[in-house]
């Protein structure tokens, strides 16, 4: 169901993208929108992981420099049937983590020093299993494409604003002009990025639910992830992640929303599902499996 919902939302975002291209500049707008999307997707496909890791000053570690953390990820990757990802640590007190990379063979996982210092091994295993579930589901690529299309829509909206202000809306559809007038162009400029953001956030929330379930299956204990989310949510609200505040477009990558300033209105625009609901679903999953374990073999952290 989560996969079907994701594809439906991606189709809606793509349709929105092409539709705005047509409204801004007719048939020519669709061609321009397509070219922009292909170019931006190609760049993101090859470079997004390097860019985001550099953004957060992530430091790569190995078995010698971080034996406990590296060992947890190594065991979980084996459980999931995945190649060993590159492992990084981000120096910030906020407990959080994310995964990136264009494929399971090129994946990287990163955890903050706050997560490693505040959580026990079982909870760390639950969190990193969630991130490996993202890798296994290729969510990193899905969200890269989503962010790329949303960004291209914002570019078209800026063009619409510029064209509307300076009268560049002439011509008919056959000439590549916009079928809208001045007011219509300004409306598109204001509403298009908002609509794209709402769809992008809906996709992100859908993938988080799927990764919670997949992570619980990889580590074998839904309660470990539920406990981690409970503790991380409280700590994240009290600790500012300065790099995340400077780069809010990357917030959707983290397991817990790294941004401050949450509220009832802000929840509409949240990239993450309701935390209480996530925890409840995980504990319901633990109850269904009996004893909180879905593991086929004994876990080294049990």
According to DSSP, residue 111 is labeled E
User: Is 74 considered catalytic here?
Assistant: no
Which tokens is 96 given?
């959080």
283/276 Cα distance (integer angstroms):
11
Report DSSP letters for 27-48, one per residue: HHHHHHHHHHHHHHHHHHHHHH
Angle of helix 67-80 relative to helix 121-136, nearest 10 degrees, comes to 50
Q: Which residue in 131, 237, 245, 276 is the catalytic one?
A: 131
pLDDT value of residue 35: 79
134 belongs to an annotated ligand binding site: yes
pLDDT value of residue 171: 45
Answer whether 55's CB lies under 8 Å from 243's CB.
yes
Sheet holding 59-61, edge to edge: 59-61, 86-90, 108-112, 97-100
245 belongs to an annotated ligand binding site: no
Q: Where are the domains of the chain?
A: 2-289
Q: How many residues does this entry show for the chain?
A: 302
252 belongs to an annotated ligand binding site: no
pLDDT value of residue 72: 98
Low-confidence ranges of the chain (pLDDT < 70): 1-3, 6, 25, 29, 33, 37, 41, 144, 163-184, 261-271, 289-302
Helix (H) or strand (E) holding 73: helix 67-80
Q: Given the structure tokens 């990239």, which residue do they identify? A: 271
Could you tell me how many helices (H) and strands (E) the chain has, helices first?
Answer: 9, 4
Q: What is the largest CA-CA distance in the chain?
A: 69
182/174 Cα distance (integer angstroms):
19
pTM given for the model: 0.79
Q: Mind listing the pLDDT tens digit for each residue in 71-121?
A: 999 999 999 999 999 999 999 999 999 999 888 999 999 999 999 999 999
């Amino acid at each position: 169901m989560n996969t079907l919902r994701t594809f439906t939302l991606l189709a809606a975002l793509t349709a929105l993208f092409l539709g705005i291209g047509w409204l801004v500049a007719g048939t020519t707008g669709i061609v321009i929108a397509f070219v922009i999307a292909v170019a931006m997707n190609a760049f993101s496909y090859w470079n997004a992981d390097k860019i985001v890791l550099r953004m957060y000053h992530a430091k790569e570690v190995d078995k010698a420099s971080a034996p406990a953390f590296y060992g947890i990820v190594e065991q979980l990757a084996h459980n999931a049937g995945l190649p060993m990802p590159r492992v990084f640590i981000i120096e910030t007190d906020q407990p959080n983590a994310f995964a990136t990379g264009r494929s399971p063979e090129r994946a990287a996982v990163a955890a903050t020093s706050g997560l490693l210092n505040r959580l026990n091994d079982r909870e760390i295993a639950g969190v990193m299993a969630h991130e490996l579930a993202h890798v296994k589901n290729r969510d990193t690529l899905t969200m890269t494409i989503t962010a790329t299309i949303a960004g291209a829509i914002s570019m078209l909206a800026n063009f619409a604003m510029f064209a509307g202000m300076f009268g560049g809306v002439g011509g008919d559809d056959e000439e590549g002009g916009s079928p809208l007038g001045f007011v219509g162009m300004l409306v598109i400029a204001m509403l298009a990025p908002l609509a794209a953001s709402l769809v992008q956030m809906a996709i992100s929330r859908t993938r988080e639910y799927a990764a919670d379930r997949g992570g619980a299956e990889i580590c074998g204990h839904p309660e470990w992830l539920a406990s981690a989310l409970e503790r991380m949510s409280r700590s994240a609200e009290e600790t500012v992640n300065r790099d995340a505040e400077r780069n809010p477009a990357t917030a959707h990558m983290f397991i817990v929303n790294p941004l401050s300033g949450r509220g009832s209105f802000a929840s509409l625009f949240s990239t993450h599902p309701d935390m209480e609901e996530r925890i409840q679903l995980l504990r319901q999953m633990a109850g269904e499996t009996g004893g909180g374990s879905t593991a086929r073999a004994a876990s080294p952290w049990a």
